[in-house]
């Protein structure tokens, strides 16, 4: 298991849609192990392969050390509630910068596990937000795009000042 370097915003690879995983082998398991270690070191509650420059549809989520580890291969949203909720979001690619984002409160989603078996799941609350956030990243939609133009511009300006 290796802690990998995390791409930093505005790396253009963070805006590229990821390709589906087609090989379910030890290389995939190794990538997931690395993602878990990288996420914990960041620290964060979710990470995708895109965050480390691997443009494949893999996400790892663990909301807290005592919560289950969720590995989603080729995840996608099946349906979402019309009811919305707000949570503070950020990214391991912009450490220390957060803002409130509004998303559907409940989702139904599909994914594959490490062996390639297809599953469907439901999530609500903060977990639903995290899954949607990571799927957005896999689709090449960096979380800042979910903010109003004013909030996005302010946050980017602060980030640029911070990284100079």
Parse the chain into domains and list their residue ranges.
Answer: 12-163
- The pLDDT score that the predictor gives to residue 136 is 98
Helix or strand or coil: residue 7?
coil
Helix or strand or coil: residue 108?
strand
Edge-to-edge strand list for the sheet holding 70-80: 46-48, 58-61, 70-80, 106-112, 118-124
The yes-or-no verdict on residue 48 having pLDDT over 90 is yes
Span 87-105, pLDDT tens digits:
999 999 999 999 999 999 9
The pTM assigned to this predicted structure is 0.97
Domain 12-163: assigned CATH number: 3.90.45.10
The yes-or-no verdict on residue 1 having pLDDT over 90 is no
Bridging pattern class, strands 70-80 and 58-61: antiparallel
Catalytic status, residue 134: yes
Cβ pair 13, 55 in contact under 8 A: yes
- The pLDDT score that the predictor gives to residue 17 is 98
Q: Which entry of 16, 102, 124, 134 is annotated as an active-site residue?
A: 134
Cβ pair 85, 102 in contact under 8 A: yes
């Amino acid at each position: 298991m290796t802690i990998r370097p995390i791409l930093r915003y505005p790396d253009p690879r963070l805006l590229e849609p990821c390709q589906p995983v087609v090989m379910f082998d030890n290389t995939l398991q190794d990538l997931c192990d690395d993602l878990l270690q990288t996420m914990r070191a960041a620290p964060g509650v979710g990470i995708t392969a895109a965050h480390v420059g691997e443009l494949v549809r893999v996400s790892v989520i663990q909301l807290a050390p005592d919560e289950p580890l969720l590995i989603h291969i080729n995840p996608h949203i099946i349906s979402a509630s019309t009811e919305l909720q707000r949570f503070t979001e950020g990214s391991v690619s912009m450490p220390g910068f957060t803002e409130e984002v509004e998303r559907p409160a409940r989702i139904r989603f599909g994914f594959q596990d490490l062996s390639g078996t297809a599953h469907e799941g439901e999530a609500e609350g903060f977990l639903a937000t995290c899954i949607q956030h990571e799927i957005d990243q896999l689709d090449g939609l960096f979380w800042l795009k979910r903010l109003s133009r004013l909030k996005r511009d302010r946050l980017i300006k602060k980030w640029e000042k911070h990284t100079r």
